[in-house]
Structure 1
Amino acid sequence: MSNIPRLFVPTDLQQDAPVALDEAQSKYLFKVMRLNVGDPVRVFNGRHGEWKASVKEILGKTAGMLQVDEQTRRQGVLTDLHLYFAPLKKTRTDFVVEKATELGVEVIQPVITEYTQAERVRTDRLERLTMEAAEQTERLNMPRVQEPLSLIKLMSSLTDHRHVYYCDERGDDEGAAWGGDDNRARPMADVLMGKPPHSAAILIGPEGGFSPQERSMLRKMENVIPVSLGPRILRAETAAVSALTLYQALCGDWRAAEEGAPQDD
């Protein structure tokens, strides 16, 4: 991995174009990294691939300009993977969002369920987390962080082409812990094995899972596929990482690097 600093910028990128740095980027480049005029920086915007740029002007340590020099990576086709998850306590939500970005999710959708405990979601803060994770992990774009939706509203808005893999840890036996073994979902790896890449979403519930009414609704929906993540009851953030990892390994961009490997400098 290159040790040249890498930044997400919202502006269009093309050869010789100027890029204005905001205060946080300027402090990082000129105060933390101690870059000088002419030093290289890598930039990407989620639309035009990655480009090598150089410091053109330093205006104190709170502003500056870059000049775009040449493209080093083309924008690739990414796995159309969404994550729908019930918000958790602050640091655990941060963990889910950061790892989802690292694992190639394109849309991060907080979902309010009957058992959701943390209903307040700072999407602006989560967007900053995705930007930092994208910069560090060589992604060529940032996932879109959506405003929270109720589970019913989300499921009613889905189109037929998207498969939703619903992580269902329960069985149907009301008298047994976590529903026993009756009508348990199949292991996620078995469900995914041999399936071609397609538009997909992973649905993760809150601690305590989905309510019986929510579970009944999800089980009846045609494009919702219940899956199991094994014999143990996982914490919600562990379930999210586990499910995303399985999908990317068996159906997603771990099988073929659509974005292309970073080029050496």
Structure 2
Amino acid sequence: MPATPSWPPKSAPRLFVAEELHAGAAVRIEGNPAHYLARVMRAGPGDVVILCDDVTGEWAARVSDVGKRDVMLEVAERLRAREAVPDLWLCPALLKKDRYDLILEKATELGASRIQPVLTRRCVADKLNMDRARTITTEAAEQCARTALPQIAEPLKLDAVLANWPETRALFFADENGGEPAAHSFAQHQGPAGILTGPEGGFDEAERAAIRAHPAARPITLGPRILRGETAAIAALAAWMATAGDW
């Protein structure tokens, strides 16, 4: 006898939607996501689509109709509740667009709960397209089967980040001048945390002094080599997840 097909199919496309989902809900997909379902994935009536709403979790839905500009779905059942995400903020200084895109994508895949872009004196970039950033993180979450989107904050100057940093949240500072080995420092801490990484040119001495003077700061080293800004952010987050996160 042929094997019973898995439910839902592993090949089913995944999408995040804005509305809160429930069994029996009718969901209209428009714009680029509709084009993706109808033209790229060639979804037709009866096909399964996995939906996430960043509130209740992950749901299986069936295509009920495919129009010229939209796709109608009917939600069938919940597959998973919204995942519990480790309370880790990634605070990378702004970089050139393509390099920062990589940070946004990989931070989502690795499980950061919040991304706080930081403006420093040596930042080459001074703006972040928030719509583009949300698109990147949403697509990354769909690709890696994440059910919770990371929060993306508006960029803040370093002094504002330090002034508003919560007293109970550790601030791991990736300092190219040295500090405690990252993995060891991460393993010693329990509770909310954040990781601060620098721009292409690094932090200047005044910034470094201000960060080290902050009561929550814990200077760390990411090894004997000078890392690019995007490499430092991704490596630090991976090390934190491996020692103190949900790996």
What is the TM-score when the length of structure 1 is the normalising length? 0.88
Once the two structures are superposed, the pairs formed by residues 9-28 of structure 1 within 5 Å of their partners are: 9-28=17-36
Task: Report the Cα distance in structure 2 between the residues aligned to 1:83 and 1:124, rounded to whole angstroms.
Answer: 19
Deviation at 1:68, TM superposition (A): 0.4
Residue matched to 1:258: none
Map residues 150-229 of structure 1 onto 2, 5 A cutoff: 150-170=157-177, 184-196=178-190, 198-229=191-222
**Over the residues paired in the alignment, what is the CA RMSD in angstroms?**
1.1
Matching of residue 49 in structure 1 with residue 51 in structure 2? no
> Which secondary structure does the structure 2 equivalent of 1:193 belong to?
helix
Amino acid aligned to 1:242:
A
Residue aligning to 1:250: 243
Instruction: Return 5+ residue gaps in structure 1 as ranges.
Output: 171-183, 255-265
Alpha-carbon distance between aligned partners in 1 of 2:169 and 2:188, rounded to the nearest angstrom: 17
- Which of 64, 73, 83 is matched with 2:80 structurally? 73
**TM-superposed deviation, 1:187:** 0.8
> Is the partner of 1:192 in helix, strand or coil?
helix
Q: Distance in 2 between matches of 1:250 and 1:4?
A: 33
Which runs of no fewer than 5 residues in structure 2 stay unpaired? 1-8
The CA deviation at 1:169 is 0.8
Question: Using the alignment, how far apart are the partners of 1:147 and 1:191 within structure 2?
Answer: 28
Deviations 1:189-236 (CA, angstroms, capped at 9, x unpaired)? 12122433x211110111221111111111111111100000000001
Partner-residue secondary structure (3-state), 2:237: helix
The residue identity in structure 1 corresponding to 2:193 is A
Aligned partners of 1:250, 1:195: CA distance in 2, in Å?
10
Q: How do residues 101-140 of structure 1 correspond to structure 2 at under 5 angstroms?
A: 101-140=108-147
**How far 1:154 sits from its partner (Å)?**
1.1
Distance 2:221 2:188 in 1: 17
**Identical columns (%):** 41
